[in-house]
Amino acid sequence: MASQTCQAYSEVIETTRFAPSPTGFLHLGHVYAAAFARKHGDRMLLRHEDIDATRVRPEYYAAIEDDLAWLGINWDGPVRRQSGHFDDYRAALKKLADLGVTYPCFCTRAEIVAEVSRAGEAPHGPEGPIYPGTCRGMSKFERIARMDRGLPYAVRLDVESALARVGPLTWHDRGLGRQTATPEKFCDVVIARKETPASYHLCVVVDDHLQGVTLVTRAEDLTSSTHVQRLLQDLLGIEPPSYFHHRLLLAPDGKKLSKRDHAETVRSLRAAGMSPAEVLQLALGDLG
């Protein structure tokens, strides 16, 4: 009896999250991701990933929440907006800087592309062409001189130095099984920008931890991010969650659904007279 009681208490309450960016209306790919998170979480949190002020529009926050409610996909607890938590990201960034695993990078995107193509084949990572490490070896004197001149810079993670500080990196993936993280394949990713003291990777790692997320569900095109995020978790002393990367819903032409290509939105399907059940069926097919 006693052991049964212990068993019941030790059951994990799985906390997942749905984390859209309020830069457009939800499309069917989002519906799939939200329903997947809901299905696998005892609790499902909603988080607006809104650090890119140039792309966020105020009306999309309410539209996302309204579309989810219309679909019957409910969430638990308060909604988190990343833009309200820059202090959390600054603190994590400082921790990384104190470890000596970051450096300022003054390269423009065009300079990086030119540098990569000069080197022959241009390998690509999760954030475009892989950064060739141009500013990694810059002297302290030169860095300070450039900062004093007000030159804009991003903060990059020195992945090689970072890897030297942690043990082997793995994660448990419910879909793919045990995975080994190889962040070195993505080179020195950006973890903060001058105008925004944070980046996608840093915010996600900090938020998932602070929000008590136990299972990160997201589309398989974000698997590459997990390699980098596992490294950040170990550097910051954060216990990693489990992961479940699900299939990516594609448009009928086989391309990725995206806001930029004006993928069909829940809004437009609603306006065309579809019911929530029909929209869910369209997005989920056999997910159930």
Binding site for ligand GLU (CB under 6 A): 19-21, 49, 204, 218, 222
Q: Shortest distance, CB of residue 162 to ligand GLU, whole angstroms?
A: 20
Instruction: Give the helix ranges, DSSP H, for the chain.
Output: 2-9, 28-40, 58-71, 86-99, 109-118, 140-148, 159-163, 200-210, 223-236, 266-271, 276-284
Nearest-approach distance from CB 221 to ligand GLU, in angstroms: 9
* Residue whose entry in the numeric block shows the structure tokens 């419910």: 174
In the bound complex, what is the minimum distance in angstroms from residue 258's beta carbon to ligand GLU?
10
Q: Considering beta carbons, is residue 156 or 201 the nearer one to ligand GLU? A: 201
- Looking at residue 201, its amino acid is H
Least distance in angstroms from the C-beta of 274 to ligand GLU = 23
Instruction: Give min distance, CB of 145 to ligand GLU, in A.
Output: 36
- Residue closer to ligand GLU by CB (options 103, 229) is 229
Nearest to 258 by CA among 28, 19, 31: 28
* Alpha carbons 286 and 282: distance in angstroms, whole number: 10
Which one, 32 or 131, has the nearer CB to ligand GLU?
A: 32
Nearer to ligand GLU, 209 or 218 (CB): 218
**240, 228 Cβ separation under 8 angstroms:** no
Question: Minimum distance between the CB of residue 183 and ligand GLU, rounded to whole angstroms?
Answer: 15
Nearer to ligand GLU, 19 or 202 (CB): 19
Nearer to ligand GLU, 55 or 165 (CB): 55
Cα–Cα distance, 107 to 146 (Å, whole number): 12
Contacts of 105 (CB under 8 A, 6+ apart): 131, 134, 135, 153, 154, 155, 156, 188, 190
Q: How far is the CB of 106 from ligand GLU (least distance, A)?
A: 27
Give the 3-state secondary structure of residue 81: strand
Distance, CA of 144 to CA of 151 (rounded, Å):
10
Q: Which residue has the tokens 């999309």?
A: 60
Neighbour tally for 132: CB within 10 Å? 17
**Choice between 161 and 223, CB closer to ligand GLU:** 223
Tell me the pairing of strands 43-48 and 15-18. Answer: parallel
Q: Are 233 and 258 in contact (CB under 8 A)?
A: no
